[in-house]
Amino acid sequence: MMCVKGIALVLIFVCIAQQFLQVDSQAINTKRGENRKGKRREKQGSSAAKATLPPRDRNESGSKDSSDGTFTGRFSTPDKTRCTWVATGIDVFVLDISCKKRTKTFDCEYTAKPRSCPEYASRAKVYWKQIVRSLKRLKKPCHNSKELVQTSVCRNAPKDAHFKLSTAPQIPLQPQPRNKSCADLADRQKLAEDYCGGAWSSLCTFFFAMVETENC
């Protein structure tokens, strides 16, 4: 009888332990399931946040803004002339160029109708990049009216699709040094008129007038 009671107690203990182990395993599985659901929610939230982010504005990276029909830039020619340019327009574009070479400065205007080129509508950025390259190859900016600032993308387009010089270069006038000899001759003429009297007065005046004309 004692053996039967001992075996019964052992079986009861084993059953109780098995129940505890099942409860613990269920709790662990439930916790793991909750953790997995939380991670999935985090991933879904991050992907949704990425989808709702606005696209990066290209202007922040320093690209040119052509929304208002204005293009700007700078270039240098082989003879070390440094220039800046601004192109504005809708149908007819005016390309203003300001250049400086050593101590000399000058500016001028080129005009063109880029929209007369069929490729301009879809390849405007390529058009303006090639315009800058063409400006860099100019031997004498603002001086040759026959030299076109053209692009290869509009090679088969009409000539007015390429920029052509429309105004002569405007060079600031420099003051001319005063000729001191002219003032000296004027003083001499006045002195001669004071001393030349009578019949010699007109002859002296004519003589000094000829001298002043030749030297001044």
Q: Quick: pLDDT tens for 15-41.
A: 666 665 565 666 666 666 666 666 666
H-helix segments, the chain: 2-52, 124-136, 180-195, 200-215
- Give the DSSP letter of residue 163: B
Q: What is the C-alpha to C-alpha distance for residues 59 and 62, in angstroms, rounded to an integer?
A: 5
Q: What is the C-alpha to C-alpha distance for residues 194 and 204, in angstroms, rounded to an integer?
A: 10
Share of the chain above pLDDT 90, in %: 31
Mean pLDDT for the stretch of residues 43-48? 54
Q: Quick: pLDDT tens for 87-122.
A: 999 899 999 999 998 889 999 999 999 999 999 999
Res. 56: pLDDT tops 50: no
Q: Extract the tokens encoding 160.
A: 């007015």
Contacts for 153-157 with beta carbons within 8 Å, 24 or more apart? Answer: 153/117, 153/119, 153/120, 153/123, 153/126, 153/127, 154/114, 154/117, 154/119, 154/120, 154/127, 157/116, 157/117, 157/118, 157/119
Q: What is the C-alpha to C-alpha distance for residues 137 and 151, in angstroms, rounded to an integer?
A: 12
- 0.85 exceeded by pTM: no
Tell me if residue 62 falls in helix, strand or coil: coil
Residue 17, pLDDT score: 62
User: What is the distance in angstroms between the CA of the first residue and the CA of the last residue of the chain?
Assistant: 152
Q: How many CA atoms lie within 13 A of 164 on its CB side?
A: 11
Q: Measured on CA atoms in the order 171, 175, 181, 185, is the torsion positive or negative?
A: positive
The type of residue at 148 is L
* DSSP structure string for 144-158: -TT--B--STTTTS-
